[in-house]
């Protein structure tokens, strides 16, 4: 195996996936409790379940049910249908300029034998939506317009 192939193989091992694709926002004049409440208010109506939360983090999941998975097969049925759960993890870190909120999204796939696999969500639309969620929460808690409303033209003129 040449050095280039080896480095491509080791890259996912050396870089923790949850650190590689985290979305972040800095919210001024807030607490983890207020952020948790704002996130729960937005995510619970969408079907997410509260798993746990505290001063350092919030974990919520969304059960997606049985989903076809390419290149993954159930150990008993030999069918490529696995039970999939989306996990959102928000971590809080107090900084001098405010509360840093980092968001990570993982897919957890389980088969009927109890085997689990975790993988981060691929970069793309899902991560953009996660960043938009953080931006909306920041706007709500800081009392400023969100990024969605800031770019819209005023229709009264």
Q: Bigger pLDDT: 78 or 95? A: 95
Confidence of residue 91 (pLDDT cuts 50, 70, 90): very high
Prediction pTM value = 0.71
Residue 80 belongs to domain spanning: 16-142
Say if 79 falls within a structural domain.
yes
pLDDT, tens digit (0-9, with 9 covering 90-100), for 34-74? 999 999 999 999 999 999 999 999 999 999 888 877 666 65
Q: How many domains does the chain have?
A: 1
In 3D, which of 93, 70, 82 has the Cα closest to residue 22?
93
Chain center to CA of 90? 7
Amino acid 33: pLDDT: 96
Say if 107 falls within a structural domain.
yes
The rounded distance, in Å, linking the Cα atoms of 103 and 131 is 8
- Residue 73 maps to which CATH number? 3.30.530
The rounded distance, in Å, linking the Cα atoms of 68 and 72 is 8
Say if 90 falls within a structural domain.
yes
């Amino acid at each position: 195996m040449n050095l280039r192939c080896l480095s491509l193989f080791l890259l996912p091992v050396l870089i923790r996936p949850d650190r590689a694709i985290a979305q972040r926002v800095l919210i001024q004049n807030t607490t983890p409790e207020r952020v948790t409440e704002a996130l729960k208010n937005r995510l619970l109506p969408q079907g997410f379940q509260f798993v746990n939360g505290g001063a350092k983090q919030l974990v919520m999941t969304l059960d997606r049910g049985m989903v076809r998975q390419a290149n993954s097969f159930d150990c008993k049925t030999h069918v490529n249908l696995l039970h999939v759960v989306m996990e959102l993890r928000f971590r809080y870190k107090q900084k001098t300029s405010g509360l840093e909120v980092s968001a990570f999204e993982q897919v957890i796939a389980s088969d009927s034998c109890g085997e689990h696999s975790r993988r981060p969500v691929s970069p793309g639309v899902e991560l953009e939506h996660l960043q938009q969620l953080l931006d909306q929460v920041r706007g709500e808690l800081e009392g400023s317009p969100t990024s969605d409303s800031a770019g819209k033209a005023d229709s009264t003129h």
